[in-house]
Amino acid sequence: MEERRDAVRRLRGAVAGALAGCMPLAGGALACELPPGVRLESERVAVSFRTTPEKIAVGRPFTLDLAACPKRGVLVLERVRLDAHMPEHRHGMNYRTRVVPLGDGRFHSEGWLFHMPGRWEFVFELGSERLTHSVRIE
Amino acid sequence: MRRRLAALLLGAAAAAHTQAPDAQAQRLDFSPTEVRAILSHGPWPAPWAGDPTNRGSGNAQAIALGELLFFDPRLSPSRKVLCATCHVPYRAWQDARARAVGLVEVDRNTPSLLDVRYQRWFGWDGAGDSLWAQSVRPISDAREMGGSRAEAAALVRGDAELACRYEKAFGAPPPASDEAVLAGIGKALAAFLETLVSGRSPFDEFRDALAANDVAAMKKYPEAAQRGLRIFIGRGNCNACHFGPNFTNGEFHDTGVPFFIKGGVDEGRYGGIGKLERNPLNLLGAYNDDRSGASAVKTRQVALEHRNFGEFKVPTLRNVALTAPYMHNGSLATLADVVRHYSEVSPDRLHSDGIPLVKALHLSAAESADLVAFLETLSESASALAPRRPYARCR
C-alpha cells in the first residue's frame, strides 16, 4: 500500500508538471477541440467527458475519460481531482479515483463505482476550476 | 350427527382449498416505475462469466480439488473443524447459529455460501477482495481452524490424492512456497464455491411472469408478498442497498446494529480495509491471475473513511428465510425481528448527516407481516445443485 501511495504522489507531481501553464488562451474561442461527450463549462474552461460503459449501472465499475480546454487565460492545473457524491445523502463513493494524464488536456480515470441508485453528482476539479454534473442512476 | 359434522368439515376444507392464496391472488396494479424496479431483481440465475483472477475458475479439476478440501478436516490441525462445520450444506451452507463456532465461538454470523460467486467483496468486513483469498482465511485463524499456511501446504504436498489433483488443476505440482500453495488451495476452494448457485424462487417466477405479462402465472404469487414487495421497492427503500438480481449492491452500510463485542468493538469495514491492505494474497499481489489489471482496481482505489467504522456488507436476500439468524452478529433471530429493527431503528444511532438511508419505517403489524411474506418468497423452491458424487482416485 505504501507503494500505492508513492505512485499517487508521483502521479500528482506528473499531472502538475505536465499541465502547469500548458493551456494557452484563445481569445474567447476554445484553444482546442473537445471530443464527443457530456459537455460542461465554467468561466475559464470547457470540458467533455464520457464513461465506459456509457450507461452507468448501480454497483458496476466504470471508467471516465475527460478532456479539458481553456476558454480564456492560462489555465494552471496544479491538481486534477475527479470524484462524485450523493448530495442528498452527503456521502461519496467508496473508492478514490485514479487519474492518468494522457497529454493535451486529456485524462483517463478509473475506480468509479456508484453503489446506490439515486442522484449522483460528478465533481471535476481542474486547478482552480470546479465543474459539476448530476445524473440519476436507476 | 357425525356424518353431518364430517360433511361440514369436508365442505370447509374444500372452501379453504379454493381460497388458497395461490389460486386466488390478484396482481396489484404496479406502476411503471414499480415494474421497472421489480424487473431489476432478475433474471435468475444472473449471467456470470468466471473469475479472471483465478485460473481454476470453472475448471472441473480445480472444482473437484476444492470440493475435497472443503470437506477435509485435516486443514485444521485439530482435525475437528472443516469448512463445512460452519458452512453446512443442508443448512443453506451456513450454520443456523447466531455466531460461528470453529475451535471457539467468534464474533460474527456465518453467511451462506449460496451465490457467493456474484459478490465483489468477501466477509462481513470485505477483508477479502477475491473468493479465493477469503476461502483460506479461516484456515489460519486461531479461533476458527487454528492452522497455518505451512501446515495446509504440507498437507497438499504430502497427500498423494491432493497433490495429484493439485497438479491436474493447476498444471504443476504444489510449489515449494507455502504461500503459493495456500493461494492454490484458495483457488480450488473458490472454484468449488462458484458452483453453489441457488435455485429459482417464487419471486423469480413472479418477476418473469410480470416481464412476460403472463397474468395467469402472476396470480400464483401471494397478494401479501406483492404488498410486501411494494413496501420493499417503495416506502421501505430496501432496494437502495438490496439491489439487483442478487439483492445486494455488494458494498457496506451501517444499519444501526450494535457493533460492540466482548472486550471492544467490531470495526467492520474500517478494519476490513486494513486487513485487505496487509493480505499478501490480495489482488495487488503476485497471485492474481488477471494480467489485465482490471480486477485489482477496486483494491487499489478503495477508500478508507472514518464512516467505515461499524459498516458491514449488505448481504444477499436470496434464501433469506433459510439462513436465520440475521445481521453481522446474528443478533436478530427471525425475519420478523429484522423487519421490526428497520421499523423502529433509532436515528440517533445512525449519525447520518444528510437524508438518512436507513430510517424508522413505522410499519403497521399488517405491513410488517406483508414484508416478511415477501422476503419468504426469495428462497429457492428447489435446490439447483447437482447431487454430490464420489470421485474416482486421481491418477
Mean pLDDT of B69-78: 98
pLDDT tens profile B123-148: 999 999 999 999 999 999 999 999 99
A vs B, Cβ pairs < 8 A, gives: 69
pLDDT, residue A10, reads 43
Cell numbers placing B132? 479465493
pLDDT tens profile B24-43: 578 789 999 999 999 999 99
Chain B residue nearest residue A118, CA to CA: B240
With a cut of 60, say whether residue B258 has pLDDT above it: yes
Question: Using N-to-C axis directions, what is the helix angle for B202-212 and B223-233, rounded to 10°?
Answer: 80
Q: What is the CATH number of the domain that holds A14?
A: 2.60.40.1930
Mean pLDDT of B277-290: 98
pLDDT tens profile B316-368: 999 999 999 999 999 999 999 999 999 999 877 776 666 777 889 999 999 99
| pTM for the structure as a whole | 0.88
With a cut of 50, say whether residue B20 has pLDDT above it: no
Mean pLDDT of B54-77: 98
The DSSP output letter for B169 is H
- Pick the residue of B31, B125, B297 with the most A CBs within 10 A to test the interface with A by mutation: B297
pLDDT, residue B49, reads 93
The verdict on a CB contact (< 8 Å) between B297 and A111 is yes
For chain A, residues with pLDDT lower than 70 are 1-29, 73-76
Domain extent at residue A63: 2-137
Cell numbers placing B316? 444477499
Q: Which residues of A touch B125 (CB under 8 A)?
A: none
First to last CA, chain A: 34
Q: How many domains does chain A have?
A: 1
Q: Which residues of A touch B305 (CB under 8 A)?
A: 94
pLDDT, residue B16, reads 39
Strand pairing category for A91-92 and A129-137:
unpaired
pLDDT, residue A44, reads 87
pLDDT, residue B391, reads 86
With a cut of 60, say whether residue B12 has pLDDT above it: no
- Which H or E run contains B153? helix B149-158
The verdict on a CB contact (< 8 Å) between B252 and A94 is yes
First to last CA, chain B: 75
The verdict on a CB contact (< 8 Å) between B354 and A96 is no
With a cut of 80, say whether residue B21 has pLDDT above it: no
pLDDT, residue B23, reads 55
Instruction: Determine the Cα–Cα distance for residues A28 and A26; give it in Å rounded to an integer.
Output: 6
**Which of A127-136, B15-24, B49-58 is predicted least confidently?**
B15-24
Instruction: Compare B5 and A40 and report the one with higher pLDDT.
Output: A40
Residues of chain B with pLDDT > 90, as a percent, come to 85
Q: How confident is the model at residue B4 (pLDDT cuts 50, 70, 90)?
A: very low
